[in-house]
């Protein structure tokens, strides 16, 4: 497994790096970003995956989210994958901003022609996770996940499906019930066809109803988010969590929209949430 370093730059006493490799899941070259906090010099650190939203890349959060300072403070290594395969050679893959490239939705597509490359679920949770564990000084048993919008959907669903892999979870303005919104229906129809059971297995609200559980969930949602009413459905997810006993702290943030100005405002709280959850796991293991 060959990982090519694109760049490494000092940031908050750690290293912000960008890397490229040939993925066996997506059968394309994939890029990802990693922030190594200064604490890696002294031993393995917890890991936190950040999944970005529609149209974003591995650069977006590294540049805009202001996460490195808090990862540096708490000693957490950040992993920021791209949002889809790029250059898979599929007809029309770059035509829509909400489907295909930049819009992988963190699922393993089952429909041709997407199924050959659009395997972002397996890519993030298995392949990239393995690469990070083998390449960096990390504690493979203390991995959390969070994300924004489509990436918030990805974080919730991956954590609910794999609670033993992703031990802490949070989201900014996530797509909470993709089966019930235009973005989600378009993506699921394209990647899965009409199989509603498959749709439900990638819908955070449906996963809660089906008995899946994750660690305590933190969600921040802006009240002035331009996508709140049509696409995000936090109330549906909150109701399901309440009915089925999933711990959730849903914070409606007055005046905030869907942008990284919103995300960076609450980034400190999210990384503190993960640091606390992952520290409890590490303490429990050692005691």
Catalytically active residues are 149, 225, 258
Give the neighbor-by-neighbor strand order of the sheet with 77-81. Answer: 4-11, 14-22, 29-36, 77-81, 45-51, 138-148, 168-172, 217-222, 248-253
Stretch that binds a second copy, among 18-26, 100-108, 180-188, 261-269 (CB under 8 A): 261-269
- From CA 111, how far away is CA 124, in angstroms rounded? 19
CB of 62 to a second copy, least distance (A): 8
Q: Does 260 bind a second copy (CB under 8 A)?
A: yes
Query: Strands, DSSP E only, in 12-127?
Result: 14-22, 29-36, 45-51, 77-81
Nearer to a second copy, 199 or 262 (CB): 262
Q: Does 10 bind a second copy (CB under 8 A)?
A: yes
Q: Does 163 bind a second copy (CB under 8 A)?
A: no
Q: Does 37 bind a second copy (CB under 8 A)?
A: no
CB of 221 to a second copy, least distance (A): 13
Q: Which of 68, 149, 157, 205 binds a second copy (CB under 8 A)?
A: 68
Q: Does 55 bind a second copy (CB under 8 A)?
A: no
Rg (CA), the chain: 18
Residue 46 to residues 78, 247, 278, Cα–Cα distance (Å): 9, 22, 7
Using CB atoms within 10 Å of the CB of residue 100, give its burial: 0 to 12 exposed, 13 to 18 middle, 19+ buried: buried
Q: Does 157 bind a second copy (CB under 8 A)?
A: no
Q: Does 257 bind a second copy (CB under 8 A)?
A: yes
Query: Strands, DSSP E only, in 65-177?
Result: 77-81, 138-148, 168-172
- From CA 228, how far away is CA 174, in angstroms rounded? 9
Q: Does 21 bind a second copy (CB under 8 A)?
A: no
Number of Cβ atoms within 10 Å of the Cβ of 197: 8
Q: Does 172 bind a second copy (CB under 8 A)?
A: no
Q: Does 264 bind a second copy (CB under 8 A)?
A: yes
Q: Which of 160, 219, 262, 277 binds a second copy (CB under 8 A)?
A: 262
Number of residues that bind a second copy (CB under 8 A): 22
Q: Does 69 bind a second copy (CB under 8 A)?
A: yes
Which of 120, 50, 126, 44 has its CA nearest to residue 88?
120
Q: Which of 114, 222, 241, 274 binds a second copy (CB under 8 A)?
A: 222
User: Can you give the binding site for a second copy, defined by CB under 8 A?
Assistant: 9-13, 16, 63-64, 66, 68-69, 222, 224, 255-257, 259-262, 264-265
């Amino acid at each position: 497994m060959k990982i090519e370093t694109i760049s490494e730059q000092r940031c908050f006493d750690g290293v912000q790096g960008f890397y490229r490799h040939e993925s066996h899941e997506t059968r394309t070259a994939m890029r990802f970003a990693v922030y190594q906090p200064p604490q890696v010099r002294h031993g393995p650190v917890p890991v936190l995956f950040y999944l970005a939203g529609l149209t974003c890349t591995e650069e977006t959060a590294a540049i805009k989210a202001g996460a490195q300072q808090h990862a540096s403070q708490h000693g957490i290594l950040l992993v920021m994958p791209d949002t889809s395969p790029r250059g898979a050679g599929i007809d029309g893959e770059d035509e829509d901003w909400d489907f295909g490239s930049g819009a992988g939705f963190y699922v393993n597509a089952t429909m041709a022609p997407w199924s050959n490359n659009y395997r972002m679920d397996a890519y993030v949770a298995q392949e990239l996770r393995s690469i990070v564990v083998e390449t960096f000084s990390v504690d493979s048993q203390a991995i959390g996940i969070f994300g924004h919008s489509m990436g918030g959907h990805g974080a919730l669903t991956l954590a609910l499906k794999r609670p033993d892999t992703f031990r802490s979870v949070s989201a900014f303005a996530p797509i909470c019930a993709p089966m019930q919104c235009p973005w989600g229906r378009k993506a699921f129809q394209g990647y899965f066809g009409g199989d509603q059971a498959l749709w439900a297995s990638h819908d955070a609200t449906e996963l809660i109803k089906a008995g899946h559980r994750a660690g305590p969930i933190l969600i921040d949602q802006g009240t002035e988010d331009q996508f709140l009413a049509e696409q995000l459905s936090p109330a549906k997810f909150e109701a399901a969590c309440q009915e089925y006993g999933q711990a959730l702290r849903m914070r409606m943030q007055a005046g905030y929209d869907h942008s990284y100005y919103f995300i960076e405002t609450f980034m400190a709280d999210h990384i503190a949430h993960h640091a606390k959850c992952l520290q409890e796991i590490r303490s429990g293991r050692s005691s």
